[in-house]
Chain A
Amino acid sequence: MKLTLTKDLTAPKAEAVAKINAAALRRRNAIVPPGAAYEQKKAEAVAVRSGDTAGLLILPAESALRGVSLADLAAAVLDKAAQAPVALAEIEIERQRKLAAIAAANSPAEIEAALSV
């Protein structure tokens, strides 16, 4: 009897895609935490910068807890928010590059290699 060995790459590819997506999500969440707090803090930081400190819910408490001034905390929040799009873009580009490599992979070794691209 003769047999040509091959591998069904469907499952390994799906597993690799899941790993890539999970890693990208973890990195995104580190930059832009999920939930409303991030947007709320950004809005409050904008208000602080424009001199409107009425109705703040998070930043005054956080500045007291961390021992930093409200202005410095607002500046830090805005600085981080300004950097976020670039960092998020880098993460997404890397995710897309890896997904493309997975789609093109023709062997288990190529899938492994694609994960470390």
Chain B
Amino acid sequence: MTTIAFHDGNGQITGTQSGLSARNLDEYRARGLVFAEVPPGTRIEDCAIFEGKMISRIYSSARLSKSEIAADGVDVAVIDRLPDPCTLEIDGVRLEITGGRLELTADMPATYHVLLDQLPFRQWRAEIVAK
């Protein structure tokens, strides 16, 4: 049985389907579906699809200066070495970032989740706790 991955026009994997037989795959191809076969043991989130093949995404050099800040609107955490430009998700909200650097302050105590999910880089996640 085979697992396949579907992808968007950029090679970003948009979904997977498992437990497929060779006949299923032939049927999918006959219907014009575009997908790539996923080798066993593959971590989907670390891959993209290029020319119909699964390829490994490279590590981002993004880094977070500190994971805890005071929720005073003054204390700053810096994310730098970001791809320029890039799209970050902060608590699920997408933000276009230019300049490769983002300075973050907080005025509400909470935990904030940051995600960089941009090809060809592997997903990079950070958590900032504002106290």
A contact residues vs B (CB 8 Å cutoff): 1-7, 106-109
Contacts and interface: CB of A to CB of B under 8 A. Distances in A.
A106 B107 CA distance: 10
21 contacts: A1-B97, A1-B98, A2-B102, A3-B90, A3-B104, A3-B105, A4-B73, A4-B104, A5-B105, A5-B107, A5-B108, A5-B130, A6-B107, A6-B108, A7-B110, A106-B108, A107-B71, A107-B110, A108-B109, A108-B111, A109-B110
B103 A2 contact: yes
Contact of A1 (B101, B106, B108): B101
Nearest to B112: A5
Given A1-B103, A2-B103, A5-B105, A108 B110 contact: yes
Nearest to B101: A1
Contacts of B110: 5, 7, 107-109
Contacts, number: 48
Q: How large is the interface on B (under 10, 10 to 19, 20 to 34, 35 or more residues)?
A: 20 to 34
B128 interface: yes
A79 to B, nearest CB: 48
B97 A107 contact: no
A2 to B, nearest CB: 5
A18 to B, nearest CB: 21
Interface of B: 71, 73, 90-91, 95, 97-99, 101-112, 128, 130
Given A2-B102, A108-B111, 14 more contacts: A1-B98, A2-B103, A2-B105, A3-B104, A4-B105, A5-B90, A5-B107, A5-B108, A6-B108, A7-B108, A7-B112, A107-B109, A108-B109, A109-B110
